[in-house]
Chain A
C-alpha cells in the first residue's frame, strides 16, 4: 500500500516536474511567467486523444503530433504575444504576464469550442499493461512517465550546460544586450526556448492523459497554477529545483489524499509557496535575489 502510493506520488510528481520545467525555461531566459503554459499542456493532451482515439493511430504518432502542434503554438505565442512587448519603451514588467493570461483565456475557450466541455477518455491498450510484484501493482505507464521525466531533465541539463545553443541560451538569460553584442542571435534563442518549453508542455499533456485516462479543457488551469507553485517552491529558473519541487508536490498531494482530507489537495501547492516565500523567498534551489 505504502509503496504503491509512493509510486503514484512519484508519477504525479514527474508530470508536475515536466510542466514546471517548461515554466522554468521561459522564466530563466525571459524573466516572464508564461501563464499560457497550462493551456498549451492541455492542447497537447487533447491532440493525443484525437490522434489515438479518432484516427486510431499508434501512440508514437500521438507524441509526435502533440510535440509538433504545441511547438507551433509556442512559436505563435512568442511571435504575437511576447515579441511585440520586448524592447518597447515604458512597458510595465507586468505586461507580458497579462498578455500570456490573455493567451490562456483564448486557448481555454478555443478548446471548449473545438473539443467540447466534457471529459475525454484516453484509450490506449498501452495504459493497461501492469506488473505484479508481490502484492504491488505497477503500471508500465508509470515507469514510462518517470523515465521520460528523468531523461528530459538530464537532456535539458546537458543541453544547457554543454552545447553551443545551451550556452547561448544561458548567456541570453544572463544579459540580453551583452549576449547580443557577443554575437548570440538572441531573437532566435528566445524563440527556440519558448518552442522547446511548449513542446515539453505537450509531452506532459499526453503523459497526463495516459496516467489519469481523462482530458478536460479545465485541466490546463489547475496544472498551470501548480506548475507556477512548483517553480516558486524550487526556485525560479532552476532546472533541478523544478524537478525536485514537482516530486515533492506530487508526493505531498498523494499522501494527503491517502492519510488526510482529499478536499484540500489542491490547496497544498499554494500553502507551500506562501510558506516558502516567507522563509526562503528565492526557493529551495534559487539564486539569492539581489534586487
Chain B
C-alpha cells in the first residue's frame, strides 16, 4: 500500500519544490530590507560547486560539504554585500546580476577545477549515502516494504521537508524579533531607520549574508540530489526564476515566496502538454502580476482577512485560539 503510493517521480518533484522554496526564501530575506539581489543564483552555484568539489576530491562527508558550501556562499555574500551597500535599487540589482554572470564565467573557464561548461558529474548522492549508513546499522528498506530506490527518494524528501520547516520557522521567528523589525524599518525608510539608531550597515550586510547562506545551502543540496551540476544551472535564468517565485507569491510575507515556489514548480509538471510554452506563460504572468497586483498574490491584508475568517470559524467551533500570522 505504502510502496505503491511512494513514486520516485513525485518525490523528485517534491524535492525540487522544497529546494525552490528555500531559494525563494533566500531572495525574500534580502528583499525584506528593500534590497533586490539577483546574485542568489550565483551564491547557489558557489554552494553547489564548493560542496561537490570537497566531497569528490577530499572525500568529506556530505553534511560537512554542504555546511562548508553554505558558509563559503555566506562569506561571498558578506564580501559582495559590504561594497554594494552604497548602491540602491536598480544599481544594486544590476551589480548583483553582474556578479552572478562573473561567477558563471569563472565556472565555465576554470576548467581544471570545474570541468568547464561540461559540468561535474558523479557527485555523492545524499539519498544513497543515507541508505548506505542505515544499511551499516543492519536496516533494510524491504523491512518497511520499500524498494531501495523508493527509500532513497523518500529519505531525501523527508530530510528536505524537515530542513524547509526549520528554515521557515527560523525566519518567521526572526521576522518578529529585533532583527526583523530593523529589516522592516530599513525597507520603509533608510534615513528614518538610521536616525532611530538602527545600524543600517550591519543589518543590510546581515540580510545579504543570510540570503547568500540560504541560497548556498540550497545549491549544495541541489548538487547532492541531482549528482550533476553545470554552470548553466546557476546562470541568469535561474536568478530570474527565483525572483519570479518571490514576485508571484508576494515579497511582503514569508508565505509569498513559499506559495510562489510551490505553485510555479508544480505548474509545469501538471501542465505537461503546454510545457513548451512554459516560459512564455512565465513572462506573461510577471507582466500581468506587476500591472494588477505588484505586491504579489499573498500580502498582509490577504493574510489578515484569512486569519479573521479562520478566527470566526474557530469561535464557532469553540476552539478560539487561532494564532495570528
| A positions within 8 Å CB-CB of B | 33, 80-81, 84-85, 88, 90-99, 101-110, 113, 221, 225, 228-229, 232, 261, 263-264, 266-267, 269-271, 273-274, 277-278, 281, 291
The number of residue pairs between A and B whose CB atoms lie closer than 8 Å in the complex comes to 122
Chain A residues within an 8 Å CB radius of B247? 98
Q: Complex: how many Å from CA A229 to CA B94? A: 8
Contact between chains at B94 and A273 (CB < 8 Å): yes
Q: Which of chain B's residues 70-101 have a Cβ closer than 8 Å to chain A? A: 83-84, 86-91, 93-95, 97-99, 101
Contact between chains at A93 and B287 (CB < 8 Å): no
Contact between chains at A91 and B109 (CB < 8 Å): no
Contact between chains at B87 and A281 (CB < 8 Å): yes
Task: Give the size range of B's interface with the partner.
Answer: 35 or more
Chain A residues within an 8 Å CB radius of B95? 232, 273-274, 277
Chain A residues within an 8 Å CB radius of B101? 225, 266-267, 270
CB distance from B207 to the nearest CB of A (A): 16
Contact A99 B280, CB 8 Å, known A225-B101, A264-B105? no
Could you mark each residue 230-247 of chain B with 1 if its beta carbon is under 8 Å from any beta carbon of chain A, else 0? 000000100010010001
Closest to A221 in B: B236
Q: Complex: how many Å from CA A266 to CA B97? A: 13
Chain A residues within an 8 Å CB radius of B108? 263
> Do most interface residues of chain A lie in helix, strand or loop, or is the interface mixed?
helix
Contact between chains at A267 and B102 (CB < 8 Å): yes
Chain B residues within an 8 Å CB radius of A273? 94-95, 98
Chain B residues within an 8 Å CB radius of A105? 240, 279-280, 282-283, 286
Chain B residues within an 8 Å CB radius of A109? 277, 279-280, 283
A sample of 28 cross-chain residue pairs with beta-carbon separation below 8 angstroms, ordered by A number, consists of: A80-B287, A81-B287, A84-B290, A84-B292, A85-B290, A93-B89, A93-B90, A98-B247, A98-B290, A99-B287, A101-B243, A101-B286, A102-B282, A105-B279, A105-B280, A109-B283, A228-B94, A263-B105, A266-B105, A267-B106, A269-B98, A270-B102, A273-B94, A273-B95, A273-B98, A274-B83, A277-B95, A281-B86
Q: Complex: how many Å from CA A264 to CA B111? A: 12
CB distance from B93 to the nearest CB of A (A): 6
Contact between chains at A229 and B98 (CB < 8 Å): yes
Chain A residues within an 8 Å CB radius of B284? 102, 106
B36 within 8 A of A: yes
B285 within 8 A of A: yes
Closest to A84 in B: B291
CB distance from A234 to the nearest CB of B (A): 13
Q: Complex: how many Å from CA A105 to CA B279? A: 7
Identify which of A94, A99, A113, A229 contacts B89 (C-beta below 8 A). A94
B145 within 8 A of A: no
Contact between chains at A104 and B294 (CB < 8 Å): no
CB distance from B8 to the nearest CB of A (A): 30
CB distance from A264 to the nearest CB of B (A): 6
Chain A residues within an 8 Å CB radius of B287? 80-81, 99, 102-103, 106
CB distance from B295 to the nearest CB of A (A): 8
Contact between chains at B98 and A274 (CB < 8 Å): yes
Contact between chains at A33 and B90 (CB < 8 Å): yes
Chain B residues within an 8 Å CB radius of A108? 279
Contact between chains at B89 and A85 (CB < 8 Å): no
Chain A residues within an 8 Å CB radius of B276? 113
Contact A85 B291, CB 8 Å, known A105-B286, A269-B98? yes
Could you mark each residue 275-308 of chain B with 1 if its beta carbon is under 8 Å from any beta carbon of chain A, else 0? 0110110111111011110110000000000000
Chain A residues within an 8 Å CB radius of B290? 81, 84-85, 95-96, 98-99, 102
Contact between chains at B291 and A104 (CB < 8 Å): no
Lowest 5 A-B CB distances belong to which pairs? A102-B286, A106-B283, A270-B98, A105-B283, A84-B291
Q: Complex: how many Å from CA A85 to CA B295? A: 12
Closest to A94 in B: B36
Chain A residues within an 8 Å CB radius of B84? 277
Contact between chains at A103 and B283 (CB < 8 Å): yes
Contact between chains at A99 and B286 (CB < 8 Å): yes
